[in-house]
Amino acid sequence: MSQISLTFPDGNSRDYDAGVTPAEVAASIATSLAKKAISATVNGAHWDMQWPINEDARIAINTMQDDEPALELIRHDLAHIMARAVQEIWPDVKVTIGPVRDNGWFYDFDRQEPFTPEDLGQIEAKMKEIINARDAVKTEIWSRADAIKYYEDNNEPYKIELVNRIPEDEDLRMYWHGDWQDLCRGPHLQHTGQVPADGFKLTHVAGAYFLGDSSRPMLQRIYGVAFKNRKDLKAWETMMEEAAKRDHRKLGREMDLFHMQEEAPGQIFWHPNGWKIYTTLQDYMRRMQEVDGYVEVNTPQVVDRKLWEKSGHWDNYQENMFIVEVDEEHAREKAINALKPMNCPCHVQVFNSGLKSYRDLPLRMAEFGSCARYEPSGALHGIMRVRGFTQDDAHIFCTDDQIEAETKKFIEFLAKIYADLGFHNWTIKLSTRPEKRIGSEESWDRVEKALGDACNAAGYEYEIQEGEGAFYGPKLEFTLTDAIGRQWQCGTLQVDPNLPERLSATYIGADGDKHRPVMLHRAVLGSFERFIGILIEEHAGKLPFWLAPRQVVVASIVSEADGYVDEVVAALRAVGVRAEADKRNEKINYKVREHSLGKVPVILAIGAREVEERTVSARRLGENRTSTISLDDIVAQLKDEAQAPDLK
RNA sequence: GCUGCAGUAGCUCAGUGGUAGAGCACUCCCUUGGUAAGGGAGAGGUCGGAAGUUCAAUCCUUCUCUGCAGCACCA
C-alpha cells in the first residue's frame, strides 16, 4: 500500500497509508484527541472524520474549540437529528432537504397535518433523546441505482428526485445517524452525542416550496437555531428581543408616526410626527439635488395604457400595476389607465417635449415620484414594503461617453448623503449581463466596464453579481448595513438604452443629426417610506436631532413656571427648533418618563429656580444627568443642532 | 399569490354557547410635586366583516378582509 505524507498545523509531517481517515490520524496522535475530534480540515476542505485521504495533504483536526466547523456541524447534524425525530414520531412524513442557514438550520417535510407548536416541543424532546443515545454517524458512497432502489423501497419520492438532480460525475453519499438514513454531502460529527443538547431550539414552522418552485405544492419547513452552549443560545434570544424592540411598526405606533388600516392595505397614513420626518428628509434631498445639478419635475399619477404599452410595462409589469377603468363622458368605450408604478416613462415625455441638443446633456431629471405597485399581499411589511410609495427618483439622460463620469458623480453624491444620514457601512454590487438580454456584446462590455471604472475612480470597491443585471443593461446596487447587521439595498443606478429607444427619445448632436440618449435610472434612498423605516430601526427610534419629529419638550415643574415655559418654547420656535410645552398638572417624573419613552431628544425642565435665574434644566435622551444652562445659551446651542447636515 | 397562525377598548392582553374584563392611555377631581409612573372617580367595545347552525353566537361551521412568520415575488 502506498504512503502519503500529512502535514499538521505546527509544520510537522507524518507518513500514513493512503486511504487513512482523520479518525485514524487523530487516534495515532492521542486517544483523547480522537474522542473530542469533530472533523478535519484537509487542504482547506471541511472533511468528515470517516473520509479517506488518498494523497499528500495539509491536515488539521477540528474540535468544538474551532467555532466555524463546530457550528456548521452542530447545525447540520441537528437538521438530520430533527428529521429523524420527526420520522420516528410520524413515520409517514416524507423528508426532503435540510440545510444549515443563518444561526441554525431548517428542514422541509411533506406532511398532510400542519405541525403545531406542541409538535415542536415533542420533536425537541425526541431530539434530546437521540442526542443522549450517542448514536454513531456512518457514511458510505452508493451507486445511483442502489440509492434510487432504496428510496423507492422506503417511499421517499423527494429523495429520488434529489438523486436524479445530482450531476453524474458527483459521488452519491449516504449518511446514517443511528438507523436513520439521509442523502447528504456531509461532513458530519462522529456521533450524535457530540451535539450540545442545551444549545438549540426549534423556532417556528412555515410553508416553503420544494426547491423554491412556486408551481409545486407547499411543504412544511421547521426552523431551528443552534449554538455551542446554552449561554450563546440565550445571547441569541436576547439579541432577537432587542431587534423586536427596534421594529419600526412598534416604534411607529409608540412615537405616533403613522398608522395603516385595512381599507388601504400597503399604504401609509402619516401622522404629524411621521410626516415631519418625511418632509425634513425630503427638504434635505431637494437641496442636495439642486446643488448637484438636478432639475426637479412632477408628472401624472394616472396614465393611459397606451403609454404603458409603448414603454413595455403593459406586457411585462401589468400584474404589479393598479389598473383604473374610466368612463369617458363622450366615448362609448372605457378608457383604461394605470397608476404609475415607475416614473421613467413620464420623464421621457418631459425630455421629448421640445427639441434637445447635445448641449443639454447630461440632463439630470429628478422627481419625488409617487408610485403605486400592486405588490403581492404576502410581500407587504410595515412601511418597508408597501403599495404606495415615493421614490427619490431621477433619470440622467446622457451620451454613452458620459456614463462613466455621471456614475462617478452619482456615487460621490450618494456617499455624501449616506454619511450625512449616519450610514458609513455600505457596499456596491455590480450586476452584469443576464442570459436573456438585448444589445450587442460590445456594448455590454463597454457599459459594464464604465460602471466598474466609475466605482474605482470614486475610490470604492465593488462586488460582481454575475448575470443579475436587467435585460437592457447592467446596474449598480448600493447596500447599507444597519446597527444590528441587517442589510438593505437602497441606492441603485441602472443603465438603460432600451426605454429611450421604445419611447423615441432623441437629441440633436454636434453633427446636426438626431441621436439616441442613454438613460441612467438612479435613486439614493430608494423610497422615502422604506428609508424612514430603516432610519427608525437603525436608531431604535432615537433619531438624530435634526430629523427628530419632536425635538424639545419644555416641561413645567410647578404651575408658576407656565408663563416662562411659553417664553422658552417661543424662543426655540423662533430659531426653527421644534419645541412644545408640557404644562400639565403632573409631576416632573411623570413627564420625563413619558417624553423619554416618546424618544424626545431634549427635555427642558422649568421650576421656580429656572424662572428666577432665566435658565433651563436640560436633560438629553439616554442620559440620566441634567445640566442648568442659560436660556440664551440653550437656544443658540439647539438652533445649531437643528440644522440639517448640509446647512451646517 | 402560497402554507401556517392570529384579529376582543386607543395600546398590550385575559375570557365565556346565555349579548364582556384587566393594566396602561383618556376625561374630571384632589394634589404644586425637582428629573423614568402621586391618589381618587368616570367614560370607553354591535368581540374584523358576511352568511349559516342553535331557543340563544364574541365563542361552533363556511366564506371573506386584514395582520404576523416564512416561501415565492421585488424593472
A486 touches strand B (CB under 7 A): no
A617 touches strand B (CB under 7 A): yes
Residues 496-555 of A with CB under 7 A from strand B: none
Average the pLDDT over each of A374-383, A459-468, A484-493 and give the range with the smallest value.
Answer: A484-493
CA of A625 to C1' of B75 (A): 52
Reported as a single tens digit per residue, the pLDDT across A21-73 is 999 999 999 999 999 999 999 999 999 999 999 999 999 999 999 999 999 99
Average pLDDT over residues A466-482: 91
Average pLDDT over residues A416-434: 94
CA of A376 to C1' of B6 (A): 20
pLDDT at A328 over 80: no
A218 touches strand B (CB under 7 A): yes
Give the integer Cα–Cα distance in Å for A638 and A648: 12
A12 touches strand B (CB under 7 A): no
Q: Nearest CA to A83 among A64, A99, A71, A102?
A: A99
Give the integer Cα–Cα distance in Å for A59 and A236: 32
A23 touches strand B (CB under 7 A): no
* Cβ(A492)–Cβ(A366) below 8 Å: no
pLDDT band at A330 (very low <50, low <70, confident <90, very high): low
* CA nearest to nucleotide B66 C1': residue: A262
A45 touches strand B (CB under 7 A): no
CA distances from A560 to A578, A608, A610 (A): 23, 7, 11
Average pLDDT over residues A549-555: 97
CA dihedral A80, A86, A88, A90 (to 10 degrees): -150
A391 touches strand B (CB under 7 A): no
Q: Which of A184, A344, A371, A490 is catalytic?
A: A344
CA of A8 to C1' of B22 (A): 67
Average pLDDT over residues A311-319: 91
pLDDT at A329: 64
What are the φ/ψ torsions at residue A500 (nearest 5 degrees)? -55, -35
Reported as a single tens digit per residue, the pLDDT across A201-235 is 998 888 899 988 888 888 999 999 999 999 999 98
A496 catalytic? Reply is: no
Average pLDDT over residues A306-332: 84
Give the helix/strand (H/E) hosting A203: strand A200-209
pLDDT at A369: 94
Q: What is the pTM of this model?
A: 0.89
Residues 413-472 of A with CB under 7 A from strand B: 470-471
Most confident range, picked from A94-108, A197-211, A365-379: A365-379
Mean of per-residue pLDDT scores for chain A: 93
Q: Which of A221, A347, A373, A578 is catalytic?
A: A373
pLDDT at A648 over 90: no
CA of A585 to C1' of B44 (A): 23
Burial of A118 (0-12, 13-18, 19+ CB in 10 A): exposed
Q: Which of A159, A221, A356, A521 is catalytic?
A: A521
CA of A403 to C1' of B73 (A): 31
A395 carries a ligand binding annotation = yes
What are the φ/ψ torsions at residue A144 (nearest 5 degrees)? -55, -45
pLDDT at A535: 95
The region, left, alpha or beta by phi > 0 then psi within -120 to 50, assigned to residue A155 is: left
pLDDT band at A102 (very low <50, low <70, confident <90, very high): confident
Tell me which residue has cell 404651575: A559
pLDDT at A325: 81
A221 touches strand B (CB under 7 A): yes
A475 catalytic? Reply is: yes
Give the helix/strand (H/E) hosting A206: strand A200-209
A259 carries a ligand binding annotation = no
pLDDT band at A333 (very low <50, low <70, confident <90, very high): low
CB-based contacts of A629: which residues, under 8 Å, 6+ apart? Answer: A615, A616, A618, A637
Reported as a single tens digit per residue, the pLDDT across A144-183 is 999 999 999 999 999 999 999 888 888 899 999 999 999 9
A391 catalytic? Reply is: yes
* Cβ(A137)–Cβ(A84) below 8 Å: no
Chain B bases near protein Cβ (<7 Å): 1-5, 7, 11-12, 30-38, 65-75
Average pLDDT over residues A445-459: 95
Q: Nearest CA to A38 among A76, A66, A19?
A: A66
pLDDT at A204: 86
A373 catalytic? Reply is: yes
Reported as a single tens digit per residue, the pLDDT across A234-258 is 988 888 888 888 999 999 999 999 9
pLDDT at A350 over 70: yes
Reported as a single tens digit per residue, the pLDDT across A492-516 is 999 999 999 999 999 999 999 999 9
Residues 101-130 of A with CB under 7 A from strand B: 114, 116
pLDDT at A1 over 70: no
Q: Nearest CA to A529 among A301, A269, A144, A300?
A: A269
pLDDT at A117: 76
CA of A428 to C1' of B41 (A): 62
pLDDT band at A625 (very low <50, low <70, confident <90, very high): very high
ipTM of the complex: 0.94
CB-based contacts of A395: which residues, under 8 Å, 6+ apart? Answer: A343, A344, A347, A348, A364, A365, A519, A520, A521, A522
User: Please, what are the domains in chain A?
Assistant: 3-63 (3.10.20.30), 69-243 (3.30.980.10), 272-301+340-538 (3.30.930.10), 552-647 (3.40.50.800)
Q: Which of A385, A395, A599, A619 is catalytic?
A: A395
A270 beta partners: A258
